Amino acid sequence: MDNIVLKLTSLYTLLLLLFLSYKPALSFSSRHSQYWGGERILSSGDNGDLVTNLPGQPRVDFQHYAGYVTVNETNGRALFYWFYEAITKPEDKPLVLWLNGGPGCSSVGYGATQEIGPFLVDTDGHGLKFNNFSWNKEANMLFLESPVGVGFSYSNTSRDYDQLGDDLTANDAYSFLHNWFLKFPSYRTKTIYIAGESYAGKYVPELAELIHDRNKDPSLYIDLKGILLGNPETSDAEDWMGLVDYAWSHAVISDETHQIIKTSCDFNSSDPWRNEDCSQAVDEVLKQYNQIDIYSLYTSVCFASTARSEDQSTQTSMKLSSKMMPRMLGGYDPCLDDYAKTFYNKPDVQKALHASDGHNLKNWSICNNKIFYDWADSKPSVIPIYKKLISAGLRIWVYSGDTDGRVPVLSTRYSLGSLALPVTKSWRPWYHENEVSGWFEEYEGLTFATFRGAGHAVPCFKPSNSLAFFSSFLNGESPPSTK
């Protein structure tokens, strides 16, 4: 009897020790992880790009990733991305790729941390604040610095930088998506949309066309459903005519200057500046715009920035070329650019984002002017691509902040007017929080809308309205047309 009691006691002791030493496997989904100041409390499914110690990061309940995707092994071309899972139920929400333009400007510096991402660079450039109107409330948001030479993106082959243009940018972005899916295989079959603004008015349709054409191969299929474009460069001739007419109609230039341009400038020419009267009159437009903010006619320019005040003319820097239509750099300033530059050049920030080891730092800038001036090829118009994508049944929405002088609402109306699409829902106001947010019209295959009182980078001016509009776009619903 004593032996039985002894054996039972030993067995009990063994079981108790096993119980005390047992650590259950964590089976929580990664999307239930919580972060405070970027420090991971719980995580699973980390692919190496998970951001865990981002300085100054507010607490969030979603995961975000940043790092490089190689797009050309031979030349060592790698594009930098920052990806934010949707705040809630990311598995049920689409993937949206956001592109900024320039060409040469950063989608991380503009889109992600000035406009629509969850973390906005704070005014001292040393921290972040949470964006209550972040678009990752409605979608999984992927921001890409493209092409190489923009932001943290780079190439190990110097001649790559001499070949940058629309075609290379589209092909590298296409390669990026397929290689990014290798890192994030659960997104491989998700519904995808591509969005962007300014010179991304060229990038987005060009990438969408590439996806559409190559989707004929089932192994390369990407479930692209639509594109969303804000104040987009679309057709060079119409963009310039709209810029000039808008400047005149908003009293930026005189009747005389406007009349000289109307009679002497042929914007359909490959070199409109051959006419000296035209060239001088357009110079006058830029001279007047340099007195204010061309991207937002009725707000102040940034006086706080020494760098900006020394190079104020970059707001309207223009490339002249006999081979292609002249262009103007497209980004958005006032002082936010300087805060972003301070933040992204901090060693601990670069290390947290896997952009560098924190010692051998990358020299990050929000726009690379050399890319802008050396741009090798630019399609004079993407209207033929619009026609192709409309025929393919893609959802196409275009919006314009109506106080932007850089790619004004008139430029977009002139460009879209050349499509001559039948109207399916006539011009009417759309509403947000019981006020007129702008106007919109629906055509067969395309929706065009304005944002009342917004400049070039619409979400900077109308964050709440923009999020509501984005939600309507994703849901395939008209912007709210009743209060």
- Could you identify the residue written with the tokens 């399609």? 379
Catalytic site includes residue 432? no
Is residue 464 among the annotated active site residues? no
d(CA 307, CA 365): 12
Tokens representing 144 are 């890409």
Provide the token pair at 438: 């702008």
Among 337, 402, 456, 472, the one annotated catalytic: 456
* Alpha helices by DSSP H, 22-61: none
Specify the residue for token string 């030349």.
Answer: 75
What DSSP letter does each residue of 84-136 carry, written as one string?
E--SS-GGGS-EEEEE--TTTB-TIIIIIIIISSSEEEPTTSS-EEE-TT-GG
Question: Is there a contact between 411 and 397 (Cβ–Cβ < 8 Å)?
Answer: no
Nearest to 110, CA basis, from 101, 404, 228, 411? 101
Closest among 391, 469, 383 to 205, alpha carbons compared: 383
- What's the CA gap between 281 and 245, in Å, rounded? 13
The answer for residues whose C-beta is within 8 angstroms of residue 422's C-beta and 6 or more apart is 443, 444
Choice among 404, 415, 437, 472 that is catalytic? 404
Active-site position among 106, 146, 153, 198: 198
198 included as an active-site residue: yes
Q: Which helix (H) or strand (E) holds 64?
A: strand 64-72
Q: Which residues are catalytic?
A: 198, 404, 456
